[in-house]
Structure 1
Amino acid sequence: MQEDVTTQAHATVRAVDRALDILLCFGRSSGGLTLSEISKQVNLHKSTVYRLLTSLQVKGFVRRDPDSDKYFVGWSVLELLSGLHESDELSSLALPEMTRLRDRTGETVSLYVRVGRERLRIQAVDSQEPVRNVAIIGKTYPLYIGASGKVLLAFADSSVLEQVFQDASMPPDFDREDLLKQLAVIRRDGYATSIQERDTGAAAAAAPVFDKNHELVASLSVSGPVSRFTPVKMQEHIQAVKQSAVFLTKLLSR
């Protein structure tokens, strides 16, 4: 009897994990997703994905467009986000310093946290330049590419790196050894830079933010178009990014 209960509990946990994986797919998409696209991303059979989507649809977390047969994020997700905004102390505390950093550098400033094998932008202050990087709060990106992602990966537990290397979304020809070397340099220098790694025409510099126990909580970055945020200009602003990250670390340590 106990064995049956344990088996049922494991099945329930597995279903929850799969449902959450499905929801995370929408964070990587700018539009809706078909059943086939979701099935491919989560590596599950269509029938399993369909059952989970049906449950999520009943609860309002996804909605299906009958004309296109695509699934979209539902209104229940927005309800959760409104609660998150009210309780998210980190993004609220960081906003004034992020605004000062934007004014100091003239470029877009973003704050990321790690969510599983991805990074999530939880706060942003856009540049006031006509040509700029527009930062969308709530957007997720891979950890293994881009300055902010690499900062979060460099100071994370080694088990996180193992999970990233096992991620099916990582290109099969990705140079893992080179990434390991980059992460070692980032840990040594306390910052990371990237030029057109994730987005063509964009460059970024990022630094880690820690809590009072010196555990990594976020990555603070400045990003801009390569035409203006050149390697020389990036080097000029790295110290400013690091100083703001240290300020936020001290703020969280009070």
Structure 2
Amino acid sequence: MSDAEDKSASGAQTVRRALALLRLIACGQERGVRLVDLERMSGLNRPTVHRLLKTLVQEEAVEQDPETRRYLIGQEVTLLGLARTRRFPLLTLADPYMAELADQVGDTVFLSIRHGHDSICIGRRTGRHPIQVLSIEVGVRRPLGVGVSGVALLASLDAGESVGLVRSNAARLEVLGERVEDVIARVEKARKEGLAHAPAGLMPGTSAVAVPIMLGKEQALGAITVTAMAERLAVERFGTVVERMRQAAAGIAGRYAQVAGRT
């Protein structure tokens, strides 16, 4: 390899590592992420992580909270994202169905997509019930398998592929207190049942259920999740809620296929 090729390869590796850190930091949202956790999740040594973070902070792509010393996504990344405000056509197509579903069930509806090894919430609609469970914010990025949306997305994949994705997220899952074997078991259960259900949600006294939005038998466009107080997803109401979720998912997939067929 020539010197020029060697420098090019080194430069590409640096860019990939910096982007990997940005994705990990994005998972922390307003809480931020500790340096030690960035090391554990990225697999990089401390000097490398520190060097990359220093540059990202200088470029305002990353901020460091002066009190907690945690790292957060900086304003430069946010401003860059504004250049593509119409980046998610699925959200535009899905929004009417999400609004109708939220009105029907009375609880909060989320839309999530898969991006690489993560699930990302890109939309949310609230219902009319007095108590809404806003368990996550739009923009939340989590390793696939954390939360029912990620489990539903993994369950839509081939078993071998889903297991590989979960295992590749092992370090990140460990930081979040999740065991690879437990996540794989949840995915297998969801694959058999056609949905992912967490009787005990992220917040005490809540519950959540997710179904994939399937375009054909093999491609998942995303996942719809409903979160509610646990009693509102109890046995006597659960089937009705899931049926309406599946109708919404089918409607979104049908509309997506219709629009895609025109282009």
Q: TM-score, normalised by structure 2?
A: 0.83
Query: Structure 1: how far apart are the matches of 2:69 and 2:187?
Result: 42
Aligned 8 A contact 2:102 2:108 in 1: yes
Distance 2:7 2:191 in 1: 43
The one-letter code of the counterpart of 1:162 is: G
Secondary structure in structure 1 of the residue aligned to 2:9: helix
SS of 2:227 mapped into structure 1:
strand
Task: Compute the TM-score of the two structures, normalised by the length of structure 1.
Answer: 0.86
- 1:139 aligned onto 2:129: no
Count of aligned pairs between the two proteins: 252
**2:155 & 2:217 partners in 1: Cα distance?**
17
1:98 to 1:232, Cα distance in 2 relative to 1, 3 A = same
* CA distance in 2: counterparts of 1:138 and 1:218, whole angstroms: 14
For residues 4 and 128 of structure 1, do their structure 2 counterparts lie closer, same or farther at Cα, with a shift above 3 Å needed? farther
- Map of 1:100 onto structure 2: 100
Structure 1 residues 181 and 139 mapped into 2: Cα distance closer, same or farther (>3 Å)?
Answer: closer
Query: Which consecutive segments of 4 or more residues in structure 1 shift more than 6 A?
Result: none
CA distance in 1, matches of 2:33, 2:223: 29
Aligned CA distance change for structure 1 residues 84 and 128 (closer, same or farther; 3 Å):
farther
Measure, in 2, the Cα distance between the counterparts of 1:15 and 1:203.
Answer: 41
Q: Which residue of 2 aligns with 1:217?
A: 221
1:174 is the counterpart of 2:190? no
Deviation at 1:66, TM superposition (A): 4.4
**For residue 205 of structure 1, what is the aligned residue in structure 2?**
209
How far off its partner does 1:188 sit? 4.4
Displacement of 1:122 in angstroms is 0.5
Task: Show the counterpart of 1:162.
Answer: 164
Deviations 1:219-238 (A, max 9, x none): 11111121333233222211
For the residue of structure 1 that corresponds to 2:225, the secondary structure is: strand
Determine the C-alpha separation between the residues in 1 that align with 2:15 and 2:149.
29
**Is the aligned partner of 1:110 residue 2:87?**
no
Using the TM superposition, name which of 104-113 and 133-142 deviates more. Answer: 133-142
Q: Which residue of structure 1 lines up, in the alignment, with residue 35 of structure 2?
A: 35
Which piece of structure 1 moves more, 12-21 or 34-43? Answer: 34-43
CA RMSD in angstroms, aligned pairs only: 2.6
Give 5+ residue unaligned stretches, structure 1. Answer: none
What secondary structure, in the 3-state scheme, does the structure 2 residue paired with 1:130 have?
Answer: coil
Q: Does 1:153 find its partner at 2:161?
A: no
Amino acid at match of 1:242: R
1:124 is aligned to 2:128:
no
* % identical equivalent positions: 24
Secondary structure of residue in 2 paired with 1:204 = strand
SS at match of 2:157: coil
Contact 1:127 1:133 in 2 (8 A): no
d(CA) in 1 for partners of 2:151 and 2:120?
13
| Bigger shift: residues 192-201 or 107-116 | 192-201
Check the 8 A contact 1:119/1:141 in 2, yes or no: yes
d(CA) in 1 for partners of 2:51 and 2:153? 34
Task: Tell me: CA distance 1:73–1:145, structure 2 relative to 1, closer, same or farther (3 Å).
Answer: closer
Which is further off, 83-92 or 193-202?
A: 193-202
